[in-house]
Structures are given as C-alpha cells and as structure tokens.
Amino acid sequence: MTLQFILFTCLFFNYACFFGGGKHSGRVKGYSHGVVITQVGRYKVGPLGKAWTRKHYIGGAITFYNRETHASISTQSYCDQATADIGLEFLIKDFFYGLTNLKTLYRHEFILDGREALRLRYSGKLDGMPALVDAVSVKKNQCLIDFYLVSSPEAYSQNVASFEDFFKGFTLLEKRE
C-alpha cells in the first residue's frame, strides 16, 4: 500500500510537470520552517505534526509523508502566467489524472489568502487499489499554487486536519519579477 501511494503522488508530479512545462518559473526549490521557496519567491504554509516527514523534491513539488497512515501531503507552484487564462476547475482536475472509477465526494469554493480557491475531493482506484485525493488550487500574483492530500479512504479522517492546517496556513510572502 505504501509504495502505491508514493507512486500515485509521483504520477501527479510528473503530469503536472508536463502540463506546467519547463519554461514556467515558480517551481518549488526548497523548504525551511514552514516557508516554501520557489524560483521566484516564497510562500508560507501551515505546520505539520511530527508524524509528517519531508521527502525529496519531485517535479517541482515538495511532499511530506506520514509513515503511520501511508498518506502524503504536497504543494507545488507555477508562475508567470503559466495558467493565467485557465480556470481553477480545469486546473485542479489534473490531480485526478490516473484514477479510475472517479467519484466526486466534495466541491467547495472559498477564499484563501484573499483570492478565490477551489477544493475538490475525489475517490477512485489506482492499480485496482482504493485511493482518495483532496486538492486545493489558488491563483495569486500570476502564480498557481496547489496543495493535495493522497490517502487511502480508511485513513483520510486521520489526515484531513493536517492537510487543512497546511493549506489554510498559505500566505504569499514574496514574488520577484
């Protein structure tokens, strides 16, 4: 089960890399004490508990993994009008690429750091195994910032509070031109 969720997360990163393209700036370069460092700036995220360990940067994103629940929480960004004319509804659905038997569980529009954000939760199967993906996308200052939780349906309730703390702590600190 652990390997499948790691592979599932990698699938998201790789698809996002192809979609975002190599010429767009703003990809994640680092992380330090709740601040995500990108090619063109920095943004703050909420704290994660000790159960969440940082993994390597894959495809311009940073991932935290919970060994106990076999879940991952990730964030990535693209800037410089990489997605300026594309709606959040279309952009966020990229996170569900690769899932079969998709079922919409939740859809919510809200304000995050002063901008419109969209949250979608889907269940489905990856290689025949049940999976749940909860994703949030927000556009701010010509950047698209994404947050997502990948979990088994059984472990979702153990991980959702951490995910919400993580994305609700979002604040764009700096974007260099």
Sheet containing 129-140: give its strands across. 52-54, 61-66, 71-79, 143-151, 129-140, 115-126, 100-112
Q: What backbone phi and psi angles, to 5 degrees, belong to 95?
A: -70, -15
Number of domains in the chain: 1
Whether 4 has a pLDDT exceeding 70, the answer reads no
Pick the residue with more confidence: 158 or 29? 158
Q: Which of 51-60, 66-75, 87-96, 168-177 has the lowest mean pLDDT?
A: 87-96
- pLDDT of amino acid 84: 66
Residues shown for the chain: 177
- What's the CATH code of the domain at 18? 3.40.1000.10
pTM, rounded to two decimals: 0.83
- pLDDT of amino acid 93: 67
- How many CB atoms are located within 10 Å of the residue 56 CB? 6
Burial class of residue 54 in the structure, from the number of CB atoms within 10 Å of its CB (0-12 exposed, 13-18 middle, 19+ buried): exposed
> What percent of the chain has a predicted confidence (pLDDT) above 90?
52
Task: Show the tokens assigned to 71.
Answer: 């879940």
Task: Show the tokens assigned to 28.
Answer: 């994640």
Whether 87 has a pLDDT exceeding 90, the answer reads no
Largest CA distance in the chain: 45
In this structure, are residues 47 and 64 in contact, taking their beta carbons and an 8 Å threshold? no
Q: Which helix (H) or strand (E) holds 16?
A: helix 2-20
Query: Domain range holding 125?
Result: 2-175
